[in-house]
Homo-oligomer: A and B are copies of this chain.
Amino acid sequence: MKTTLRDIARESGLDISTVSRCLSGAYGINKDTRAMVVETARKLNYIPNSLARGLATGLSRTIALLVNDIRNPYYAELARGVEDTAFEAGFDLVLGNSDLKWERQMHHVHAMASKQIDGLILNPAGVMGAKATDELARYRLPVVVLAATERKSPFSSVRVDNRGGGRLVGQHLRELGHTKVVVLGSNLKQRNLTERLKGFEESFGSGYRVVLGENSHAGAKAMMEELLAAPLDFSAVFAVNDSMAIGALEAMKFAGILVPQDVSLIGFDDIPIAALLDPPLTTIAQPKYETGVVATEILLAKIRGSGKEYVPAVENRELDVHLVARKSTATR
């Protein structure tokens, strides 16, 4: 049913290998025969079988993206950057969600490796320590990690200057005259988040306290509710990500606390809804789409490099963030 090279060969009276060359645009082919072959291919509705090609060449023209959860707008945006870049380069994208479960992640990696993907962009389900790095390296895949990597990691990485972002936050709050602030953090030890804290401390200095809880909208809400049970002893809240900021906002609204009049609120991420909140949320914006683009570019370079038996140096890129001052922060 499916037409193959053989069919075209028969139809055009040529050898199958000649046809192959015509279609894959190689050198040394007569203009006319090529035109003819291309034409009959079209006529027969030929669709090349990439599996066969992949088996023969060892390349699949497919890359994979493995993230925590595509429903997280951050990853959706990033994924789009990846897909667009891959698409332009003629690569397909296979997507996996790990829920930050190492096991589920590795399950995916295994399946993908077995499908001979040419490379992987990974939002790791845990800290990329030596063990994790080894486990992944065994697959001998070009990978770009969306997080910090080990000093002598074989993987490239792209990440955002979380620490710098944290500094921006501390600075902003200081400038507005705040001296007592609560930081809503996550009890999970995610590098991204701890870096934000570190940066914050660097620029804000003392006068803040950290409250740890579940990294989610609901988690932050609960944390905030508990804080509000006691008399207000802070004038600003820094939530380590926007989704927690939203939870905090809800809790404050419910408690009748005005933002930013009573307390200022600042998040981190600049997810799409941040601008639509009431009040619009001041936050730190990350180049999400661009992160995807850059990661893909690095990966593709790596792939093309390894084709020539030459594996280019590990590349580590850190992208800048910036403060988006909206209405949820004000002078004390």
Binding site for B on A (CB under 8 A): 1-2, 45, 47-52, 54-55, 60, 62, 69-71, 73, 76-77, 79-80, 83-84, 87, 90, 92-97, 104, 107-108, 110-116, 138-140, 217, 246, 250, 253, 272-273, 276-278
Contacts and interface: CB of A to CB of B under 8 A. Distances in A.
Contact of A48 (B47, B51, B52, B114): B114
19 contacts: A45-B138, A49-B114, A50-B114, A50-B116, A51-B51, A51-B55, A69-B80, A70-B80, A71-B73, A71-B76, A87-B107, A92-B96, A92-B111, A93-B96, A94-B94, A250-B276, A273-B273, A276-B277, A277-B278
Nearest to A69: B80
A139 B116 CA distance: 24
Given A47-B110, A47-B113, 18 more contacts: A2-B140, A48-B114, A49-B114, A50-B116, A55-B55, A60-B115, A62-B115, A73-B73, A80-B97, A83-B96, A83-B97, A93-B95, A95-B95, A246-B276, A250-B276, A276-B277, A277-B277, A278-B278
A140 B1 contact: yes
A62 to B, nearest CB: 7
B47 A139 contact: yes
Contacts of A112: 92
Contacts of A70: 70, 76, 79-80, 83
Contacts of A97: 80, 83-84, 87
Contact of A95 (B49, B69, B79): B79
Nearest to A247: B276
B115 A51 contact: yes
A55 B321 CA distance: 46
A273 B90 CA distance: 34
Contacts of A96: 83, 87, 92-93
A73 to B, nearest CB: 7
Nearest to A271: B273
Nearest to A93: B95
A45 B87 CA distance: 32
B276 A253 contact: no
Given A94-B94, A272-B273, A116 B76 contact: no
Contact of A83 (B45, B93, B95, B115): B95
